[in-house]
Every structure is written in structure tokens, then in C-alpha cells.
Chain A
Amino acid sequence: MRATASAPATTRPIFIGPSLTRVTVVLGGGAILLLSAMVVAVAIGSVGVGLGDTVAILGHRLFGLPMGITVAPGAESIIFDVRLPRVLTAMLVGGGLAVAGTVFQALLRNPMADPYIIGTAAGASLGAIAGLMAPILLPALAIGVGSTWLGLGLVQVLAFGGGLATVLLVYAVSRANGRVPVVTLLLTGYAVSSVLAAGVALLMFFSGQHLGAIFGWLMGSLAAAKWINLAFAAPLLVISATLLVFRWRGLNLLLLGDGPAAHLGMDVEREKIVLTMLATLATSTVVAISGTIGFVGLVVPHVLRLAIGPDHRLLLPASVLYGAILLALADLGARLAGGIPVGIVTALIGAPFFIWLLRRSRMVRVVVTA
């Protein structure tokens, strides 16, 4: 860290934090990698479409450029209707999970925290499965196959609502004397999740032919990606991620503890609520469109912390970028491996890499007591 000892009394902005070079390399490089990953992931799949054809189709459909060449029948549909929404969904989901995981790890001062830890996954799962089974559970409601609300399926709506409602419940239950101690939040989240998970298990027991669909949803999958879901999710994720990126200072301070953060001028309880709600909004959105994909939200923040340091000024935007890259490439792997759930790929490849990284570096504690 270079701190200047004597300088004129100007207020020219300088970065005490990560140097401009570092920021450029990490974020600029990340953006380039993301773009490349997108093109690669769209170009490769179980049906061969040449790179030239892919670029031509993308240019034509996205920017209105003339096609110029003839492509194989179905290629345009494969690229634009099947692969592109799936890759874009993977990027949004990966970025959303990673940034939410980063926020929760700082908020809860816990390296084991992931975006689902205070109940989002359990609530969203219960909602989604209720949606999957609504036609047989409540035939009187006459919810037909393929019924939609603003274009979103019942499963998406219930998953989104279930995730948000659960976190609100956990928050309300954890609140005492106007404060929400972090440990209480964690434990309440765990307890509420357990109850909801039991509900999920019960529904699974009676699910009959829907068991496969339920299991697929719980494992998380990007196979059902569609443009309408992206239209719903993209603005929500962009807004919540952007707002979270701007709140880096609060996250850094929260690492010091509630008391010291308050002494440094932070409205701790308000900040915690805002951060929790924004991160939960991102997580619920992601879960609604892709199920509960694990691993990304837990490991990407840690890997990035080991690589670029824990300062949230850089960590938050980096987590969005690199989470997106990771999931886009993992989904490519999942597709090439025969359409297996993407969560399996992230775990199989990510876990060993994470272990390797851990052995080379410092421990993964978030705080150490002075």
C-alpha cells in the first residue's frame, strides 16, 4: 500500500485500495474473458455449428447485420433460441450467485456461508415443488399445464416468492430489541430451512411421476432457459448486483464487527437489512429460473479472495464477472457431458481446484481476533 506522506491539500481522487492496474487487469480482463466465454459457449454444443456461422448468426439476430452466408437448417434456431438464452442465463445466474455469496460471507462473517444459508433455497424449493405438483395437489384450482403469469410459469413465481418470503420470516424471527445479531440470523436460517426441507421431502415422497422433475429442479439446471425468464431476471439481477457493488464500504466495515462498524458511522441494522434483502433478491431471482445450483456461491468468493484479496471494492464486481464466466463454462461442460445437471460439473471440477488453491494459500478464515 502506498500512502503519500506529504501532498498539497487537493481532493483529487486517488485509489488507496487496489491499484488502477490491478483493477484494470482483474475487471477488464474479466470482461474480455466473459465475452469470449459467451462466444465459445454459444458456438459449441452437441450439434456442430461452425464458429463463422455462429458469429454470423449472432451478428444478424443481435445487431441486424446481414447474414451474408447460408447456414445449415436449424443452426439459427439452435444458436439463437436454444444456446444463447441458455448461455446468457448461465452468466446471470453465476454472477448473481457469486455476488450474493460474497455478501453473505461478509455479512455473516462466516466462510461457510452461501447464498442459500438463511433460507432462500429451502423456501424457493418448497414453492417450486408446490408449483410442480399443483395440478395434482389442487386439481380444483384447474391450473392447466403451461399456465403462466406474465409469461412466467407457476414454478418460477412460487420459487421467487417462496425464497423472499422465507428470508423475511427468518429476519423477523431473528430480530430482538431492534437488532439482528448475526449468529441468531444464521441459526434461525438453519432452523427454518430444516423445517421447509422436511416439507420438501414430504412432497417428494408423494410426488409420484414428478419425482424426476423435482430432483432435476433441486440439482439446478439451465436446460429450460428461455427468453421470457431472462426478461424477468436480467433487470432484477442487474439492479441488485449494481446496488451491492456500490455498497462495498459497508461490507468491509461489517467485517470489523457490528460495534466497530457503528462507531465508524455506519447504521448497522439498516445496512444489514439492505444487504440481506438485495442479496436475497438476487438469489431468489436466480433460483426461480434455474433451481438451486450449489457450489458457485460458496466457492467463487473464496477463490477470488485468495487471488485478489478481500477488499470488497474489487471483490464484488469481480465476483459478478468470474461467477458468470465459471457457470457459462460449467454449463458448456454439462451440455457436452450429456446434459447432466450443471451443479455436478461445478462441484466435480471446482472442488478439487479449490482444495489445491487452499493448500497453497493462507487459511480461509474471514476474521481473526486482534
Chain B
Amino acid sequence: MTPRLRRPSTLLFLVSLLLTACAPARSGSPSATTLPSVSVAPRVPAHSIYPLTLSDDAGRQVTISSAPTRIVSLAPSNTEIACALDACDDLVGVTDFDDYPAEVADVTDVVIGAVVDVEKVVAADPQLILAAGNELTPTTVIDQLTDLGYPVLALYPHDLEGVYNDISLVGGAIDARGAAEELVTSLQARAEAVATAVAGADQPRTFYEVGVFEGSIYTAGKDSFLASLLSLAGGEPIVGDAASTAIQLEDLISADPELILLGDASYDPTITVESIAARSGWADMSAVRDGHIVVVLEDLVITRPGPRIVDGLEALARSIHPERFP
């Protein structure tokens, strides 16, 4: 077709579009258009999911009025979820504790020393705030931000399922459901693989040392996320008090761990296999006598309930059943 021939039809197309766009909404009257009707699809925007209302992990109903392009994250795990859903560029506020992925180092810190600086959050002008539940972001702060008019999603997963749900939740909030589904599916597959790999193996009584401080021993709490990961990784977790995550030394001795995982070795170079054996009262534990003490350097991903949690699960499984992961 020659350009000259095309021009009149293009012009006609454009004019009819213009007239259709300018026509009143209920164009039932015959005087609406004077041009012959051209059957072209009217230019109406695709169906939007916003405004949408979600229920967060604290049970609050949160309404997001339009697609958030400015996101503030108040916890490292939330930052990782957002980045895994390809929304890293939308982050306008993170915590000073965030360290993954590397590009978040350039984003403004709105949480410093675990204290949420509300002024900085407001200055960042977010359209969505991802907070941490269970008082990790204090409820008073969440209330304050909600009162200021921001949609705040509080995320607090108790187990792997919870992480998958949070990923889906965030994906739904930022209109990235597809990416979320993909991510969840791949994480589930890897977790399945771990379960398969350790299936049938003997489950050693496993003690995961979170920290020892001034005579108090901290480990996985009863029914905690960490305990569930230890089980999935093929161990029988020795657990502490659900609220304080502390365990008395005598309870630990009577539980007699067969395997000790030194999670605090990730942060403290003085925590070594030898240093455990030197502790008074610990020498008679099976794990110590048999030398089944493993230094764990991946505590960060084991305890951060974000997309890398499955990395942590894999690390735990390798520590508990090295023979199954050649």
C-alpha cells in the first residue's frame, strides 16, 4: 500500500477514535455521532486489580488503592521478597540491617538500629509498607503509619508455608502474581527435593545453638519456625521454651543431643568445636563425645524468613545428613 493511500484511512480511524472518546457515556441518543460508525474496539484500559483489599499476617484488612511503585520495607526478609519479585527498583526505604541483594545498600535506611524512623518513612512517600509482624515492627509504629494513611502489610511467617503465603501476598499486592507463583513453585520444588533426600534416614536428636549468653542457652523454641526447618532437614529438634527460646542446661543434658549445630559460629569466631567440648557440663553429651558438632555459617539465611529460607533448609540438611548430599 502506498503511504498516500493509507493516510485517509488512518485519519478516519483517528477521527472516529476521537469522536468515540468524546462521546457521552450513555450514547443512546442519535445525535451522539454524525460519522458512520466504524467497528473498532474502543480504547478502554485493561481491567485493573486495584483498589484491592488484602488480609495480612496480623489479620488486618489493608487496602491498596493503586499499583505501588514506591515500597518501604521494614525488615530484611521483606526486602528480599520484594527484590525476588523484581520490585527492587521500587524500594525507597529499607533497614540498615538489609544486606541482600547488593543493590539495596544504595536505598535510604528508614529503620536504624531496629528503630523505625517515621519521619524518614514519610519523606520516602511510600505507596506500600512491608512491616514485620509479631512486634518485630512494634504495633505502635504500625498503628502510627496506618493512621498516617499508608497501607501497611505485616508479614510474619511461622513456617515454610507461611513464607510461600507471604510471597504470594506481596505478589498480589504489587501485581506480580505470576512472578510470585513461579518463585513459590521453585522454592517448593527445592524443599521437596530436600525432603526426598533425607527420607528414611535416622533422625538424630539435633540441638541448634542460637546463642549462649551469661549462662542462658538459646535454641529453637517449641513449635518454632526453626524447629520445623530442623525437622524438614531430617533432624529431631531439641527445643526450648516457646516464649523465651531458652533451655536450661540440665534439660539439654537430659535431652542428650546426638548432633550439635553451631549457628552462632556464623557471627562469633570463638565458637568452635573445641570450645563446646570445653564447656562444663557439656562433655558428657553424646554429640560431644562422638564429635558430632558442626559449625554452621549460614545462620543468616536459616533464620531470615524470606526467599532464601530454602537455602537455609538445604544448608541444615547438608549439616545433619552430609551423607545424603555428596
Contact = CB atoms under 8 A, between A and B. Distances in A.
Task: Assess A/B contact in the complex (Cβ within 8 A).
Answer: yes
Contact of A223 (B60, B140, B244): B140
Interface stretch (B12-20, B41-49, B143-151, B314-322): B143-151
B124 A74 contact: yes
B117 interface: yes
A363 B58 CA distance: 55
Given A47-B119, A81-B148, A208-B243, A145 B125 contact: no
A226 B146 CA distance: 12
Contacts of A153: 143
Chain A interface residue number, banded: 20 to 34
Contacts of A145: 58-60, 139
B185 to A, nearest CB: 32
Interface in A55-73: 72-73
Contact of A78 (B122, B136, B141): B122
A77 interface: yes
A83 B122 CA distance: 11
B289 to A, nearest CB: 35
Chain B interface residue number, banded: 20 to 34
A13 interface: no
Interface in A2-60: 45-47
A104 to B, nearest CB: 29
B102 interface: no
Nearest to B150: A77
A234 interface: no
Contact of B119 (A46, A210, A338, A340): A46
Interface in B94-153: 112-113, 115-120, 122-125, 134-136, 138-141, 143-144, 146-148
B122 A339 contact: no
A351 interface: no
A82 interface: yes
A41 to B, nearest CB: 13
Contacts of B117: 46-47, 339
A260 interface: no
B122 A144 contact: no
Contacts of B134: 209
Interface in A281-340: 338-340
Contacts of B146: 146
Contact of A74 (B125, B139, B242): B125
A216 B143 CA distance: 15
Given A146-B60, A224-B144, A226-B147, A78 B119 contact: yes
Interface string B294-313: 00000000000000000000
A213 B119 contact: no
Nearest to B115: A339
A212 interface: yes
B140 A77 contact: no
Contacts of A146: 60, 143, 146
B112 A338 contact: yes
A232 interface: no
A77 B59 contact: no
Nearest to B119: A47
Contacts of B124: 74
A246 interface: no
B72 to A, nearest CB: 12
Contact of B118 (A82, A144, A209): A82
Given A223-B140, A224-B144, A338-B112, A47 B122 contact: yes
A45 B122 CA distance: 12
Interface of A: 45-47, 72-75, 77-78, 81-83, 144-146, 153, 206-210, 212-213, 216, 223-224, 226, 338-340
The 10 A-B residue pairs with the shortest CB-CB distance in the complex, in nearest-first order: A208-B243, A339-B115, A224-B140, A47-B119, A47-B123, A209-B135, A74-B123, A74-B122, A209-B134, A78-B122
Interface of B: 58-60, 112-113, 115-120, 122-125, 134-136, 138-141, 143-144, 146-148, 242-244
Given A146-B143, A224-B141, 7 more contacts: A47-B117, A75-B123, A82-B148, A207-B243, A210-B135, A223-B140, A339-B115
28 contacts: A46-B120, A47-B119, A47-B123, A73-B125, A74-B124, A74-B125, A82-B122, A82-B148, A83-B119, A145-B59, A145-B60, A146-B146, A207-B243, A208-B242, A208-B244, A210-B135, A213-B138, A213-B139, A213-B140, A216-B140, A223-B118, A223-B140, A223-B141, A223-B144, A224-B141, A338-B113, A338-B115, A339-B117
